[in-house]
Amino acid sequence: MGLTEPKENKTSTAANLGPGFDTLGLALSLYLTLQVQVAQAIPDVVNVNSHHDEIIDVSQSPALCEPFNQSVKLQYAESGFSADLPLEPSRNLITKTAWYVLRCHGLLAFPRHITVTVTNAIPLGRGLGSSAAAVVAGVLLANEVANLNLPKSRMLDLSLAIERHPDNVSAALLGGFVASYLHEDQTTDHTRALEGQFTPVDRDNRQTDAFAPLAMAPRMPPAPLSHYVQLPWAPEIKAVAIIPQFQLATVKARAVLPKNYTRADVVFNLQRLAVLTHALGQSPPDAQLIYPAMADRVHQPHRAGLVPGLTTVLETLTPETVPGLLGACLSGAGPTILVLATHNFDTIITQAREILAKHEVATDATVLEVASKGAESQLLKS
Ligand SMILES: Nc1ncnc2c1ncn2[C@@H]1O[C@H](COP(=O)(O)OP(=O)(O)O)[C@@H](O)[C@H]1O
Ligand SMILES: N[C@@H](CCOP(=O)(O)O)C(=O)O
């Protein structure tokens, strides 16, 4: 046992940052870490080509699940967030994603017996991108263990095939402050692949934590699935995360959003987004520019009902009331509130927590750095 032990780190992420709904992502210094112990090679795990053109639910197929489940032992370190996460590899988001990548490359299972130990410092369902980190982790896991040698651009495509908004996965994989969009050409097979055979159920439509695309026979995603740019981030700016002690599933927080927006609301966000992406890279940061540019009319007002106290925090904590504060927003789909600031972190935490407590929301809080490195694998020993 124990020929090699690759270790992988994936960051938490804050998506949207106010007006950048489904567009901006920020990698933060809370990590999901996988430690992988690799044992002997398994013969005959290759050849799933016969399944590639079929839409079948592989999770219902013991013939497909068993070889995969036998190839990996999954465990979580006690020191992290793992409550209620499935340990059966064919049902767990990290390993299920890896399985999808393997099947895209003609493999039914990991080519070697592995033991994966997950240490997860990212709280689940809080808007800090735990699912994006899990998806990126799964892609890197398959890439390492099966020696796929995928470039990051291809790993991004595979991650985006699962997590269908690019903000979190782009930042988790690439690191830093990232703007991205999913490429959608209505006239090509590409769109059919996304909407049809490739992902028969859109993530937004899933009723449960089904991650339906993962359960289906895979098609390689077309390349590229997205375009992105890594933006400058002023080193003085830290992220204060006020983390409510309740979970809000992203799918639930997307379900409350309207299907259509007025032109006034779209223009409101576009104008602020353009200013904000530039302002957050300027050193020293200008609170008078950043604070109003973090206003949003696309998602936060519609989600406010799911996060008691959000509106009061956004209206009460300003650069005038707390020097050093630059702006505040919902992190991802919430319920975490992210406050960008250069100093006075304790005051920000105390005031935000007091407001939320008055709304009967208990919180944890932490000050996070922007993680510039993104996801990486490391060989610990051989
Ligand atoms: N480390 C992990 N291992 C396995 N599954 C995970 C992990 N992290 C997140 N998930 C899955 O993602 C879900 C949370 O995703 P989501 O609702 O999008 O919230 P978040 O804002 O945390 O990404 C969890 O309930 C779980 O199903
Ligand atoms: N743009 C998405 C981001 C969801 O992030 P998460 O961390 O809450 O999963 C959205 O706002 O729905």
Please say if the pLDDT value at position 58 is more than 80: no
15-24, 59-68, 76-85, 114-123: the lowest-pLDDT one: 59-68
Please say if the pLDDT value at position 268 is more than 90: yes
Top pLDDT among 161 and 279 is at: 279
pTM: 0.91
pLDDT of residue 218: 66
pLDDT grade for 332, boundaries at 50, 70 and 90: very high
d(CA 5, CA 150): 19
Q: 27 to each of 65, 230, 355, how far by Cα in Å?
A: 33, 11, 27
Residues 6+ apart with CB under 8 A from 187: none
Amino acid at site 32 = L
For atom 10 of ligand 1, the residue with the nearest CA is 131
**Which ligand has an atom closest to residue 124 CA?**
1
Does ligand 2 lie within 6 Å of residue 299's CB atom? yes
Strands 72-76 and 112-120: parallel
Distance 200 CA to ligand 1 centre (A): 21
Distance 124 CA to ligand 1 centre (A): 5
Burial class (CB in 10 A: 0-12, 13-18, 19+), 155: buried
Does ligand 2 lie within 6 Å of residue 335's CB atom? no
pLDDT of residue 214: 56
Q: What is the mean pLDDT of residues 300-323?
A: 98
pLDDT of residue 379: 82
Q: What is the ipTM of this complex?
A: 0.99
Does ligand 2 lie within 6 Å of residue 336's CB atom? no
d(CA 360, CA 106): 51
pLDDT in tens, 158-206: 999 888 889 999 999 999 999 999 886 523 333 333 333 333 333 443 3
What is the Cα 64 distance to its own chain's centre? 27
Residues lining ligand 1, CB < 6 A?
Answer: 32, 85, 92-94, 118, 120, 124-132, 134, 209, 249-250, 332-333
Q: φ and ψ at 107, to 5 degrees?
A: -110, 135
What is the Cα 314 distance to its own chain's centre? 24
**Which ligand has an atom closest to residue 131 CA?**
1
d(CA 94, CA 354): 36
pLDDT of residue 142: 97
d(CA 255, CA 24): 20
Top pLDDT among 194 and 215 is at: 215
Please say if the pLDDT value at position 124 is more than 80: yes
Distance 113 CA to ligand 2 centre (A): 34
Top pLDDT among 346 and 164 is at: 346
Strands 112-120 and 24-41: antiparallel
pLDDT of residue 217: 54
Q: Looking at the CA of residue 130, tell me the nearest atom of ligand 2.
A: 7
pLDDT of residue 220: 79
Task: Find the DSSP H helices in the chain.
Answer: 62-71, 93-104, 130-145, 152-162, 166-174, 189-195, 212-215, 250-255, 263-279, 287-293, 300-303, 310-316, 345-358
pLDDT of residue 204: 40
Measured in residues, the chain has a length of 382
238-244, strands of its sheet edge to edge: 325-330, 337-341, 238-244, 363-368
Contact 177, 225 (CB under 8 A): no
Does ligand 2 lie within 6 Å of residue 203's CB atom? no
If one residue of 81, 250, 303, 307 were mutated to test the ligand 2 pocket, choosing by the most ligand atoms within 8 A of its CB, it would be 250
Burial class (CB in 10 A: 0-12, 13-18, 19+), 288: exposed
